[in-house]
């Protein structure tokens, strides 16, 4: 039994194959800390559900089939806008690195292959919910390299941006890099602060660093510039 105060991880499951959705629902709901609150196989319904339901993780198949107005890749940005609290974990059978990189660029926090064991997928859900990016080593390395190349091609004002951060903001960035959520960050700080104050600090950090991609973009930025240490990632 979970402690009474512990809320389950709420999942929106988006996959065009009903049999796969039913299988994942059955397997996920036997986990004491996970609950599937909604499911669909269509992109338009996914956007509607994301805006209406309180969900923590959107488990999203990239290929939603011909019956869906848009692919899973196409709606990542729209899902993030529809539900700013939910984190997107990609579920895919494709092995195309460029597609995976594009999913990360658009704001997915993790990616797992459908041929992975179910327990591996459950672990990925829990890690992403805890605030960690979940990509295999090759993909994460490619993302870091891509961001580094982009920075080198442009005039680099990053030193000035980073210098504008306060000690408290640098501390918050480091805690974000450790995978802590807003409430946990507030509890770690001395003196303790509330979630709303942490959120306000993060918005200030995003503005100072000109980060448009939210928490994941901040993670990549922090890892690139030594503001936080990357986690040890799992091999797929």
> d(Cα 69, Cα 176) in Å, to the nearest integer?
35
Q: Are 98 and 120 in contact (CB under 8 A)?
A: no
If pLDDT is split at 50, 70 and 90, which confidence band does 163 have? confident
Q: Between 115 and 127, whose confidence is greater?
A: 127
> d(Cα 157, Cα 113) in Å, to the nearest integer?
37
Q: Are 123 and 115 in contact (CB under 8 A)?
A: no
The distance from CA 90 to its chain's CA centroid, rounded to whole angstroms, is: 9
Which residue, among 17, 20, 18, 229, has the nearest Cα to 121 in the 3D structure?
20
Write out the two tokens for 19: 């049999």
> Mind listing the pLDDT tens digit for each residue in 176-220?
988 888 999 999 998 899 989 999 999 999 999 999 878 888 988
Give the percent of the chain with pLDDT over 90.
41
Which residue, among 229, 223, 226, 12, has the nearest Cα to 104 in the 3D structure?
223
If pLDDT is split at 50, 70 and 90, which confidence band does 171 have? very high
SS3 188: helix
> d(Cα 20, Cα 129) in Å, to the nearest integer?
22
Whether residue 236 has pLDDT greater than 50: no
Averaged over 114-127, what is the pLDDT?
88
Domains of the chain in start order, with CATH, are 9-135 (3.40.50.2300), 141-224 (3.40.50.2300)
């Amino acid at each position: 039994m979970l402690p009474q105060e512990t809320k389950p991880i709420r999942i929106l499951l988006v996959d065009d194959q009903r049999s796969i959705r039913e299988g994942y629902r059955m397997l996920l709901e036997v986990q004491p800390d996970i609950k599937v609150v909604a499911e669909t196989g269509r992109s338009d319904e996914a956007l509607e559900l994301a805006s209406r339901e309180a969900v923590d993780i959107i488990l999203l198949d990239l290929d939603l089939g011909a019956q869906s107005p848009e692919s899973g890749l196409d709606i990542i940005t729209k899902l993030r806008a529809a539900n700013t609290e939910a984190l997107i974990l990609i579920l895919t059978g494709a092995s195309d690195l460029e597609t995976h990189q594009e999913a990360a660029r658009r704001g997915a926090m993790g990616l797992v292959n459908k041929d992975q064991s179910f327990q591996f997928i459950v672990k990925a859900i829990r890690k992403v919910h805890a605030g960690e990016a979940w990509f295999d080593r090759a993909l994460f390395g490619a993302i870091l390299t891509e961001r580094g190349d982009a920075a080198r091609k442009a005039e680099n004002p990053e030193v000035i941006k980073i210098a504008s951060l306060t000690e408290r903001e640098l501390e918050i960035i480091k805690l974000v890099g450790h995978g802590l959520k807003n409430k946990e960050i507030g509890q770690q700080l001395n003196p303790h602060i509330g979630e709303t104050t942490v959120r306000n600090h993060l918005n200030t950090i995003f503005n100072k660093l000109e980060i448009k991609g939210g928490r994941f973009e901040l993670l990549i930025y922090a890892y690139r510039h030594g503001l936080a240490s990357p986690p040890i990632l799992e091999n797929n």
